[in-house]
Amino acid sequence: MRFATDRIQAFSDGVFAIAITLLVLDLHVPPREEGKSLLHELGREWPSYSAYVVSFLVIGIIWVNHHQMLDTVRVVDRPALFANLALLGVVSAIPFPTRLLADYLTAGWDGSVAAAVYGSTMLAMSIAFSVLWLVITRERAALLAEHLDAATARRAVLRFGVGFLVYLAAIALAFASAPAALVLHGLIALYYCFDQLRTPAPV
Amino acid sequence: MRFATDRIQAFSDGVFAIAITLLVLDLHVPPREEGKSLLHELGREWPSYSAYVVSFLVIGIIWVNHHQMLDTVRVVDRPALFANLALLGVVSAIPFPTRLLADYLTAGWDGSVAAAVYGSTMLAMSIAFSVLWLVITRERAALLAEHLDAATARRAVLRFGVGFLVYLAAIALAFASAPAALVLHGLIALYYCFDQLRTPAPV
Amino acid sequence: MRFATDRIQAFSDGVFAIAITLLVLDLHVPPREEGKSLLHELGREWPSYSAYVVSFLVIGIIWVNHHQMLDTVRVVDRPALFANLALLGVVSAIPFPTRLLADYLTAGWDGSVAAAVYGSTMLAMSIAFSVLWLVITRERAALLAEHLDAATARRAVLRFGVGFLVYLAAIALAFASAPAALVLHGLIALYYCFDQLRTPAPV
Amino acid sequence: MRFATDRIQAFSDGVFAIAITLLVLDLHVPPREEGKSLLHELGREWPSYSAYVVSFLVIGIIWVNHHQMLDTVRVVDRPALFANLALLGVVSAIPFPTRLLADYLTAGWDGSVAAAVYGSTMLAMSIAFSVLWLVITRERAALLAEHLDAATARRAVLRFGVGFLVYLAAIALAFASAPAALVLHGLIALYYCFDQLRTPAPV
């Protein structure tokens, strides 16, 4: 049995939308205490805000890419369905490493551990995304819309490889400096944003 | 590549629906304690209820307006997609300043800080909304439904400008009185409700 | 401008689905402690389970009814949109009185207060539902599908009236016994379930 | 009155997507403490991760099956609507036994109680699923798509029976070893995944 992509998209959109919105639950309101300035306390929460912004961008971009990928196919079969479920599993888990990184960003070695966990989640997401792409494009004739030719598919796989290397670098950087690793994740996300923006629209 | 507006709407609707429903998680049930009256304790939570109602109205109205805006276009391109993502980023963050304002509304200077953060979020939302509008309407011929003429588009931009001024005023008012600023936000929301209600239906 | 009902339904479905699923966050796992039996501790949480089941049924039934109501109209106008928003406001708030009732069900007078708050929420929901119905059906010619005749519309209004009285009775009963009031809410929900089930299907 | 299956699917998809994403809220970030290693603390949280993965798989598979079931019917009537609501009730409750099992997995007898509660939830889910199937298929002529013949329907009922027995076994196993019961639930989920994958696609 095959599934129309619009049902998969609807369920996936739900998971993306919830994961991206649940991030806000980890922005802590400092407890009201005598002799403490709220402005100062809020200022100390910068790791939470940074982690929030980066994870929001990351999930947002995966959503855009996921969307575009599913728009190129008419139906998905069972293996694609489960590959998609694996990707959603990683996406829905993102609030956890985000929280972890926010809480431990300035904690020395533990901060590095937290940043490495965050980077590993991104790597897992990137692998799950590539697997989904390979599963979806493996049956060219039956599944693909005509406008996706072999060259495009190959270029995509190449880009995935670069993605893996970058995420591996971010994991390595975590052990030098957790904040630097978070900055790198932010830069990767921004790169993908602008890359998306300048790609010519073939329609 | 262009995206059909219905997919953008589905994802956006998800984020709006979740953000508006997550607000309820910040209505606290007072802990059960000897010698305390629940009615009295609930009464003390009025800042939470007020902030809840105002933020619910705000998100509800943005949803209505967002909806109407996307109904005027047939497809959105990549820049519009990311402008929309920026707006959703602000919307999904609204539960945080709401919680902050609820907890600090009566805390003197800290209350002013909290109300200013709340007002700044509304200002950011209003800017993100205007940017989305400008991005969507920049390519008249390709993107717009016919019934949106140049005059309407210009009038909308004018209204955005007024919106900025009002939100700036609310931020300023926060430093005089946090509760007064919350009341102003409630009034702005109500104004938009009734404004929506009396606008003649052109369709 | 009018809105196609399917967009309203999608947003409303999102709010219903989230509110009904957020209820689970208030089922507490007892903290692990020496010398305490989990089975016994879980048994003591019966107020949470009862409140969960009743609120789940209530939101489920409102969803079914809301659905059926919107299926009778082709488009909704702005007043209906805001009446719908008011209903969603009450629905999305239901997890709060549920939590309140679960925590205070056995707390004597405070339990009565909690049950009265719960009952008032149901009354507010029922009023919001009736207002939405009246707003939607006020412009017969433009808005209604043909198969909804005047007699049906009038019968519906009558049933709303009975609903108000029953919820008022539940609020009154809260002051005699909070658990009895919760049982009554459960019975009302079950009554609506079976009432729905035996209504002949006119297709 | 009958409901188009796409509306039921949209609401159900929402509940599935939220329940599956709420699971992440129960992955705890260990509190920052002097002299404790984050890596070690994270390692101690393995019961949470295991329970998360198993429950994610379980909800994911129910979603796939639910989807496939509803794709075989054109419309659902009221009894099916309420049978579906009962299934959603169990699905949306799954985060609670998941949390319970994660917290008590290594707690001896209490762990067995937690695992039995988890197993009972799965049994309840399996019963609710079978009831929904029976309700949906009871009016062959009116409701079923042609490609679902009597033999398929009968085979499905047989499989449900096997499912009951397996979940009963998992409940029994809980009293011998809670972790073993969790492993069994994981294996059941994996079995269903692969079973889904190898079923020939009749389109």
Distances (CA, A) of B195 to B37, B94, C79: 41, 23, 11
Report helix angle C178-198 to C109-137, nearest 10: 30
**Coil vs helix vs strand at C33:** coil
Position D5, amino acid: T
Closest CA–CA distance from residue C141 to any residue of chain B (Å) = 16
Write down how long chain D is: 203
Task: Show residues of chain B in contact with A16, CB under 8 Å.
Answer: 11, 14
The percentage of residues in chain D with a pLDDT greater than 70, rounded to a whole number, is: 86
The tens digit of pLDDT for each residue in D10-53 reads 889 889 999 999 999 889 889 888 888 899 999 998 999 999 99
CA distance A17 to A11: 10
- Contact between chains at A89 and D25 (C-beta distance less than 8 A): no
Measured between CB atoms, which of A38, A60, A203 is closest to B2? A203
Closest CA–CA distance from residue D176 to any residue of chain A (Å) = 30
Phi/psi at B104 (5° precision): -115, 5
**Closest Cα to residue A95, out of A85, A103, A107?**
A103
- Contact between chains at B20 and C113 (C-beta distance less than 8 A): no
The percentage of residues in chain C with a pLDDT greater than 90, rounded to a whole number, is: 48
Task: Show residues of chain C in contact with D118, CB under 8 Å.
Answer: none
Task: Divide the 203 residues of chain B into consecutive groups of 10 and give the mean pLDDT of each group.
Answer: 72 91 90 86 91 93 85 78 92 95 92 95 93 80 54 73 90 95 93 66 38
Check residues D92 and C143 and name the one with the higher pLDDT: D92
What is the 3 state secondary structure string of A138-167? Answer: CCHHHHECCCCCHHHHHHHHHHHHHHHHHH
- C183's CB contacts (< 8 A; 6+ apart) are none
Residue C162 in contact with partner chain B when CB distance is under 8 A:
no
**Closest Cα to residue A15, out of B82, C12, D20, B17?**
D20
The DSSP output letter for A73 is B
CA distance A143 to D143: 30
pLDDT at A191: 86
ipTM value of the model? 0.84
CA distance A85 to A11: 10
**Closest Cα to residue B42, out of A121, C25, C101, A102?**
C101
User: Which residue, among A8, A11, A21, A191, would best test binding to B if mutated, counting the most B CBs under 10 Å from its CB?
Assistant: A21
**In this complex, which chains have at least 3 CB pairs below 8 Å with chain D?**
A, C
Check residues B93 and D2 and name the one with the higher pLDDT: B93
pLDDT at D200: 42
**In this complex, which chains have at least 3 CB pairs below 8 Å with chain B?**
A, C
pLDDT at A145: 52
Q: Which of D62-76, D113-127, D151-165 has the lowest mean pLDDT?
A: D151-165
Quote the tokens at residue B48. Answer: 């939470």
Residue D185 in contact with partner chain C when CB distance is under 8 A:
no
Are the C-beta atoms of residues A117 and D49 closer than 8 Å to each other? no
**Closest Cα to residue A39, out of B122, B104, B51, B93?**
B104
Domain ranges in chain A? 3-198
Task: Show residues of chain C in contact with D3, CB under 8 Å.
Answer: 67, 71
pLDDT at A196: 62
Residue A77 in contact with partner chain D when CB distance is under 8 A:
yes
CA distance D92 to C95: 14
pLDDT at A71: 76
**In this complex, which chains have at least 3 CB pairs below 8 Å with chain A?**
B, D
CA distance C63 to D89: 13
List beta partners, residue A66: none
Quote the tokens at residue D191. Answer: 């079995």
Nearest Cα residue in chain B from C84:
B60
Quote the tokens at residue A92. Answer: 């829905």
- List D residues 117-156 in contact with A (Cβ-Cβ < 8 A): none
CB count, 10 Å around CB of D198?
Answer: 7
